[in-house]
Amino acid sequence: MTDEIELPGEVTLLWGLRETVRRGRKPSLTVADITRAAVEVADAEGLAAVSMARVAAQLGNSTMALYRYVKSKDELLLLMSDAALDGPPDLPDGLDWRTGLTLWARGLLKVLGRHPWTVQIPISGPPVGPNNLWWFDRALRALGDTGLDEEDKVGVVMGLLTFVHGELRLSIELSKGYAENPEAFGRQYGKALAQVVDARRFPALSKVIAAGVFEGEVPYDDEVEGEFGLSLFLDGVAAFIERRTARQG
């Protein structure tokens, strides 16, 4: 039996366990209402536009009314980051771990891609919200038949989560840069590097430039780049599983 503790404030907030001080008539707001309005503002105007005052205006309420439910903008961002996650993909029984994690990663990229502002929210701790934990649990289940111990499963999932967030941020920013100046991603880039890169200082990079890797005019494709990176990551996980299970044998 585990010892009960006083739940941290962010946990009580995200799981709807926080008591709200009520005075007078029945409140016209809920935490869910506030969160939904904040997400709407971020989707339409960007994360920088989100403030307690702006969300209050979206709801047609006073700013002070929001503080009865959400104590600060940091709490609001915490709620938004969990609300942005729809449910994870179903992983049928018997699915191999690699296919499962591939579906999971693609699904997470798709869901977060609908709310690109999520990558701008600082991550200050492990997942605690119900939606975040739902995704966490689904990825752990995908590793169920690998032979890994529970700690290793967590390490693999956290590593994949790091990859997904990094990939999403890069794809958003690079896609925007490519749309503004596609020439900067092709031959122009290669020629510029060839003029400034010294082979004695950058020997490995010089070989890449000399091989003409940056001379092509292939359009930037965030999906292709993401799939390549995901495949490399999962290759590493496969080698890790093999090494771990070999020790157990």
Give the number of other CB atoms < 10 A from CB of residue 178. 17
Closest of 150, 125, 128 to residue 140, by C-alpha: 150
- pLDDT score at 21: 55
Q: How many domains does the chain have?
A: 2
Closest of 158, 165, 112, 134 to residue 14, by C-alpha: 134
Quick check: pTM over 0.95? no
- pLDDT score at 123: 86
Specify whether 118 is located in the same domain as 66: no
Is position 18 within any domain?
A: yes
Closest of 244, 87, 82, 226 to residue 160, by C-alpha: 226
- pLDDT score at 135: 97
Kind and range of the H or E element at 206?
helix 203-210
Specify whether 142 is located in the same domain as 230: yes
Is position 74 within any domain?
A: yes
Specify whether 121 is located in the same domain as 231: yes
Domain that holds residue 24: 9-83
Q: What angle do CA 151, 156, 160 make, to 5 degrees?
A: 145
Specify whether 34 is located in the same domain as 116: no
Specify whether 78 is located in the same domain as 140: no
The residue type found at 222 is: D
Under a CB-based contact definition with an 8 Å cutoff, are residues 79 and 31 in contact? yes
- pLDDT score at 113: 92
Is position 28 within any domain?
A: yes
Is position 135 within any domain?
A: yes
Name the domain boundary from 20, 49, 83.
83
- pLDDT score at 167: 92
Report d(CA 70, CA 210) in Å as an integer.
Answer: 57
Specify whether 57 is located in the same domain as 105: no
Under a CB-based contact definition with an 8 Å cutoff, are residues 51 and 57 in contact? no
- pLDDT score at 59: 97
- pLDDT score at 182: 81
Specify whether 164 is located in the same domain as 242: yes
Under a CB-based contact definition with an 8 Å cutoff, are residues 56 and 39 in contact? no
Mind listing the pLDDT tens digit of every residue in the chain (249 residues)? 457 788 999 999 999 998 765 555 566 799 999 999 999 999 999 999 999 999 999 999 999 999 999 999 999 999 999 999 989 999 988 899 999 999 999 999 999 999 999 999 988 888 999 999 999 999 999 999 999 999 999 999 999 999 999 999 988 888 888 888 887 777 888 889 999 999 999 999 999 999 988 887 666 666 777 899 999 999 999 999 999 988 876
